[in-house]
Amino acid sequence: MKPLSNKLNGIPASMTLAVNDKAKAMQRAGLDVIALAGGDPDFDTPAHIVEAAVSAIQNGHTHYPAPMVGLPQTVEAIAHKMRTENNIPIDDPRRQIIVTPGGKWGLYLALAAITNPGDEILILEPYWVSYPSMVTLTGGTPVPVSLPSEDNFRITADRLRAKLTPRTKAIMVNNPCNPTGRVLTLAERDAIVEVAQEADLYVIADEIYEKLVFDGRSHLSSPPPPAWPSAPSRSTASPNRMP
């Protein structure tokens, strides 16, 4: 049989799945192990969501949506959430929002939309293990920006600037962060925007855990720094914001 694509062969197996499978196997063997690898809450989907999904299927909502970016009510609800909770100006929801089956796909699409072969994408380290593979699959080069644990993984403009080259295209920011659980400060948010403006970079904002904050609040894109009016338009994706 002919080989699979070089791109796919260059991608290592998912470490998340490997750790998760191992933890599950240990649980089956009777060991007292808590599986923390997968980003899966420890509660079932709330009943009102399950009921709404079942009723939609029973009522024939099983076709392609029109427009294809998502059901108009869903797109409008996301636009409302982003305007009121995140202070992100959404003037034309059908052009600015795409509903995807999960955050991973949303991030991949954002990368695919901006990456040309050889473009460099900055990834803040420690990072969620899927980021480098996604960048590689879209033809880009992942460039880790190492954030030292001795400095509480702090993001500074100089740490970002040290990795810039003429090929740098975007910064991927995950806030709150998987795996550290850390929430970035306003000063760090401003450092990211400052460097993005200086070097004309996109910011891919992965705020999937936006609502999982125990004290204070998560504020990567909410509200955008008023001193930088172009900041919202640099943000290509904030997938899976939980309503």
Ligand X SMILES: Cc1ncc(COP(=O)(O)O)c(C=O)c1O
Chain contacts with ligand X (rule: CB under 6 A): 39, 102-104, 128, 174, 178, 206, 208, 240
Cβ–Cβ under 8 Å, residues 118 and 107: no
Please calculate the CA angle 127-107-13 and round it to the nearest 5 degrees.
Answer: 60
Report the nearest approach of ligand X to the CB of residue 205 (Å).
Answer: 11
β-pair type (202-206, 168-174): parallel
> Nearer Cβ to ligand X, position 221 or 240?
240
Smaller CB separation from ligand X, 37 or 195: 37
Least gap, CB of 128 to ligand X (angstroms): 4
Q: How far is the CB of 103 from ligand X (least distance, A)?
A: 3
Which CB, 20 or 87, lies closer to ligand X? Answer: 20
Distance in Å, CB of 59 to ligand X, minimum: 26
Distance from C-alpha of 219 to C-alpha of 133, rounded to nearest angstrom: 27
CB of 89 to ligand X, least distance (A): 24
Q: How far is the CB of 42 from ligand X (least distance, A)?
A: 14
Nearer to ligand X, 141 or 180 (CB): 180
